[in-house]
């Protein structure tokens, strides 16, 4: 455990560039590892979750190397094995804290004639895997999972995988992607029907790598995504845009700390990810998009964020999939807004790295916020900009990076600070979070 007390701060001023998008980073390594030839990736997130994906792809035969480029960061060079040619890993694949690595890699292994064991940390071992086990079983894979369809589990891939048409029972980009990745090495056409749109990085990137993939909308408005199997992927050069989910912590920080003005460069604004910006604007947040452009096939802009008096709102549950990871940060903003913020339709938050509804309710209440927990969301009555009291003891983060970072931000607008029991999980997605926070504070002192 590495506890830390996050103390009240003056205005945050300056410019930062958040690390690469986690979802896109995972996918670049996986698809690079399946393309024959050399894929080059810049801006890759070097967080623990993505490194777990890199290690797993190496264990299955790909070459994944990091080249240091001095001031211009690093370039990752991946030499893939080809679809259908993944090797059987000799040791269990340790997925650490990463649900995305686990579920997407289960998809890849499921249609290869190999067996792999997946293990993970205490948080990941509590998360449901049935949602991918079910469709992948229909495709011909077999599983020996721990009780409740959890890790550790052994996955035996199909010798002759069969294509399926699968309607997603939960709005999950991980489940969608697992099936599409399994479809890559499955003869025929594999189809996923998505009643509620989720992040579409897999579709975009599969197309970029040359897979035959179509996306249509059916009569009910559902997205129908089909991929032709036994694909041959062509290696790519990829620039990963900044992660909007990481930017969200600094967007909220700049909005709630009086006097702040922060420019966050190179933030990915894929519409399937940008819900938090829309919601914070509806609450009165000043977030300006500067120099909109395209990076790596994704819309990107710099965001200029200024301290704003926020007002509580009822968040439309239809927007949840496009900001599913941003609710912990939003709850902090709501705690400091004027009036009541109501959130609903958040059942999926209970099966993330922690139960983010209950853990954030407990953490914010301990810091002095007025929070009511409901089955599918939180109702928060904000302070109207007055600082929270702060915590006596430490907040329990339950191995959840986003709880740690959200409560760190809450500490900036508190009287006595907010203590977080363990900052180590932050390294899963945002290893430089604490130094960036310090940098914005240093800019103030300078
Ligand atoms: C992700 C999908 C989301 C998200 C996770 C990353 C992805 O999970 O919460 O952080 O990269 O596909 P679900 O598919 O479980 O909603």
Q: For 224-257, write each residue's pLDDT tens digit.
A: 999 999 999 999 999 999 999 999 999 999 999 9
pLDDT, mean over the chain: 97
CB contact burial 225-244 (16+ within 10 A = b; e otherwise): bbbbbebebebbebbbbbbb
Average pLDDT estimate for 373-401: 98
- pLDDT the model gives residue 128: 98
130's tokens: 């049935």
Q: What distance in angstroms lies between residue 349's CA and the mean position of ligand 1's atoms?
A: 11
Average pLDDT estimate for 18-25: 98
Average pLDDT estimate for 158-174: 98
Is the Cβ–Cβ distance between 292 and 345 less than 8 Å?
no
- Of 99, 91, 137, 104, nearest in space to 120 by CA: 99
CB contact burial 132-159 (16+ within 10 A = b; e otherwise): bbebbeebbbebebeeebbbbbebbbbe
- pLDDT the model gives residue 314: 98
Q: Which spans in 185-326 are helix H?
A: 201-208, 244-256, 275-282
- pLDDT the model gives residue 180: 98
Residue 147 to residue 358: CA distance in whole angstroms:
23
Residue 80 to residue 39: CA distance in whole angstroms:
8
Order of strands, sheet of 142-146, starting from the edge strand that comes earlier in the sequence: 93-94, 115-119, 150-156, 142-146
Shortest-distance atom of ligand 1 to CA 325: 9
Residue 107 confidence (pLDDT) above 80:
yes
225's tokens: 């995504």
Residue 287 to residue 189: CA distance in whole angstroms:
42
Q: Residue 443 — pLDDT band, cuts 50, 70, 90? A: very low
- pLDDT the model gives residue 446: 38
Q: Which residue has the tokens 């064991």?
A: 117
Residue 10 confidence (pLDDT) above 50:
yes
Residue 73 per-residue DSSP state? -
Residue 230 per-residue DSSP state? S
CA distances from 267 to 11, 293, 368 (A): 22, 10, 32
Q: What distance in angstroms lies between residue 401's CA and the mean position of ligand 1's atoms?
A: 14
Per DSSP bridges, beta strands 213-217 and 223-228 are antiparallel
Q: What distance in angstroms lies between residue 13's CA and the mean position of ligand 1's atoms?
A: 31
Average pLDDT estimate for 198-223: 97
Residue 99 confidence (pLDDT) above 90:
yes
From 45, 174, 275, the mutation candidate for ligand 1 (largest count of ligand atoms within 8 A of CB) is 174
Bridge partners of 68, per DSSP, are: 74
Complete domains list, the chain, with CATH: 4-19+242-440 (3.65.10.10), 22-228 (3.65.10.10)
pLDDT in tens, 50-61: 999 999 999 999
Q: What distance in angstroms lies between residue 100's CA and the mean position of ligand 1's atoms?
A: 6
Residue 429 per-residue DSSP state? T
**In this structure, which residue's CA is closest to atom 15 in ligand 1?**
172
End-to-end CA distance of the chain: 32
Q: What distance in angstroms lies between residue 23's CA and the mean position of ligand 1's atoms?
A: 8
Shortest-distance atom of ligand 1 to CA 175: 14
Residue 141 confidence (pLDDT) above 90:
yes
Residue 431 to residue 200: CA distance in whole angstroms:
25
Ligand 1 and 428: CB distance under 6 A: no
- The answer to whether the pTM exceeds 0.85 is yes
Average pLDDT estimate for 390-417: 97
From 23, 29, 173, the mutation candidate for ligand 1 (largest count of ligand atoms within 8 A of CB) is 173
Shortest-distance atom of ligand 1 to CA 202: 12
- pLDDT the model gives residue 70: 87
Secondary element (H or E) of residue 155: strand 150-156
Bridge partners of 298, per DSSP, are: 295
Catalytic residues: 325
Per DSSP bridges, beta strands 237-239 and 37-42 are parallel
Ligand 1 and 260: CB distance under 6 A: no
Residue 203 confidence (pLDDT) above 90:
yes
CB contact burial 192-209 (16+ within 10 A = b; e otherwise): bbbeebbbbbbbbbbebb
**In this structure, which residue's CA is closest to atom 9 in ligand 1?**
325
Mark residue 210 as left, alpha or beta (left: phi above 0; alpha: psi -120 to 50; beta: remaining): left
CA-derived radius of gyration, the chain: 21
Three-state SS at 13: strand
Ligand 1 and 402: CB distance under 6 A: no
- Give me the half-sphere count of Cα atoms (radius 13 Å) on the Cβ side of residue 85: 16
Ligand 1 and 100: CB distance under 6 A: yes
Average pLDDT estimate for 363-376: 98
Residue 242 to residue 20: CA distance in whole angstroms:
4
Is the Cβ–Cβ distance between 58 and 29 less than 8 Å?
no
Ligand 1 and 199: CB distance under 6 A: yes
Ligand 1 and 325: CB distance under 6 A: yes
Residue 444 confidence (pLDDT) above 80:
no
Residue 351 to residue 334: CA distance in whole angstroms:
22
- pLDDT the model gives residue 442: 55
**In this structure, which residue's CA is closest to atom 10 in ligand 1?**
325
Order of strands, sheet of 370-374, starting from the edge strand that comes earlier in the sequence: 340-342, 377-381, 370-374
- pLDDT the model gives residue 384: 98
């Amino acid at each position: 455990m590495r506890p830390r007390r996050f103390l009240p701060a003056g205005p945050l001023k300056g410019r930062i560039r958040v690390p690469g998008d986690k979802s896109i980073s995972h996918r670049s390594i996986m698809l690079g590892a399946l393309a024959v030839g050399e894929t080059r990736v810049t801006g890759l997130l070097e967080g623990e979750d993505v490194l777990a994906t890199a290690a797993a792809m190496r264990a299955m035969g790909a070459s994944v190397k990091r080249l240091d480029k001095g001031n211009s960061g690093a370039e990752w060079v991946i030499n893939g094995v080809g679809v259908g040619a993944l090797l059987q890993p000799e040791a269990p694949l340790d997925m650490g804290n990463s649900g995305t690595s686990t579920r997407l890699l289960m998809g890849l292994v499921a249609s290869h004639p190999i067996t792999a064991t997946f293990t993970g940390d205490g948080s990941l071992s509590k998360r449901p895997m049935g949602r991918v086990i079910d469709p992948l079983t229909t495709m011909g894979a077999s599983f020996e999972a721990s009780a409740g369809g959890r890790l550790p589990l052994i996955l035996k891939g199909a010798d002759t995988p069969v294509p399926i048409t699968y309607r997603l029972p939960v709005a999950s980009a991980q489940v969608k992607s697992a099936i599409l990745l399994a479809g890559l090495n499955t003869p025929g056409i594999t189809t996923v029907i998505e009643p509620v749109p989720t992040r579409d990085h897999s579709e975009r990137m599969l197309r970029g790598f040359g897979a035959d993939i179509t996306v249509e909308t059916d009569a009910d408005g559902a997205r129908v995504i089909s991929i032709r199997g036994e694909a041959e992927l062509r290696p790519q050069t990829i620039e990963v845009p900044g992660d909007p989910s990481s930017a969200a912590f600094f967007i909220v920080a700049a909005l709630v700390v009086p006097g702040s003005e922060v420019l966050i460069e190179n933030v990915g604004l894929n519409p399937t990810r940008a819900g938090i910006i829309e919601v914070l604007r509806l609450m009165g947040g000043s977030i300006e998009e500067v120099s909109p452009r395209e990076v790596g096939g994704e819309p990107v802009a710099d965001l200029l964020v200024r301290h704003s008096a926020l007002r509580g709102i009822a968040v439309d549950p239809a927007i949840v999939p496009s900001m599913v990871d941003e609710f912990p940060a939003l709850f902090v903003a709501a705690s400091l807004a004027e009036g009541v913020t109501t959130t609903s339709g958040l059942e999926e938050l209970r099966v993330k790295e922690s139960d983010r509804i209950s853990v954030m309710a407990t953490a914010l209440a301990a810091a002095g916020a007025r929070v009511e927990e409901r089955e599918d969301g939180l109702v928060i009555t904000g302070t109207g900009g007055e600082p929270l009291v702060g915590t006596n003891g430490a907040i329990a983060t339950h191995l959840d990076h986003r709880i740690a970072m959200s409560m760190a931000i809450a500490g900036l607008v508190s009287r006595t600070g907010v203590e977080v029991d363990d900052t180590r999980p932050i390294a899963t997605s945002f290893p430089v979070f604490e130094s960036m926070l310090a940098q914005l504070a240093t800019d103030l002192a300078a």
